[in-house]
Structure 1
Amino acid sequence: MIRVTTDSFDPGAEANAFQAAHTEAGAMVSFTGIVRSMPDDPISALILECYPELAENELSAIRGQAIARFSLIDAAIIHRHGRLIPGQSIMMVLTLAPHRQAAFDGAQFLMDYLKTGAPFWKQEETAAGLRWVDARPEDDEAHARWAR
């Protein structure tokens, strides 16, 4: 399941529904990304831009890679776009596998891709105006480990 949306979602309800649909799984991993505002560098909002159809196609392809690479039973990605305020959920990754390591690895693989390769562009809204969010070297390093 891939969902690119402007709508908010309930991570608990999403996880429960995803798990309930797959009684053959022995492990489920879920990760929810949340908009944060740091005390020393506050933001009032995070603005995510994308072309929804392109994003859905890209996310679907990486989901398929994760399922094949880690022998997952299923994987899901929910990713929001639009203007989000601190405390709101940005995205969610869910993986199901027969055993925990595959579920963890699949989720980490998807999260590392979302941080570096997904077609979303981010701006932070601050008291001084808008600023683009730059890529971080540590995110690129985390993603690069999967090329090995």
Structure 2
Amino acid sequence: MALHQLGMVERMAGEFNDSLYYFNEEEKIWKHYFPEFYLGFSANSYEKGYIAIKQGQYDEARAFFQDSLAFAESANSSVAEGCAYRGMGELEMAKLSFDKAKIHFQQATAAFKEAGDSMAIKEIQDFLVQCQQLHSTNKGAIENGNKENPKR
């Protein structure tokens, strides 16, 4: 638990290598002492996926989020499933794949509704608005002949 918190603090500070160190150490503990702690593995994979997005490693991020979702399903945790889908949505937003992002955000919303997590649902609604705004901005740039992605 402490390693996870340290990893999150380092991630939020933009210290991704330090963050990954803590998450990798956490994963070693789960594997050795708690191999069936699926919720812990789900959260760990989610964090690694989020870092991979920030580092522009999209294929790696996708794999981590898929692992996170599989562990969440094994843990029977709607909240963890929602987080994994939210991560997948954020990944697709980073890739400017807005239609795919919307699908994942809708899946996240369904999972968070099942869990009764109204705060997470509001966060997803904000992502959907942001996704629509970015989609419109990028669509307009392409229609106006600017083949480069506009800055966000």
TM-score band, normalised by shorter chain: 0.3 to 0.5
Higher strand share: 1
Bigger relative CO (Cα 8 Å, ≥ 6 apart): 1
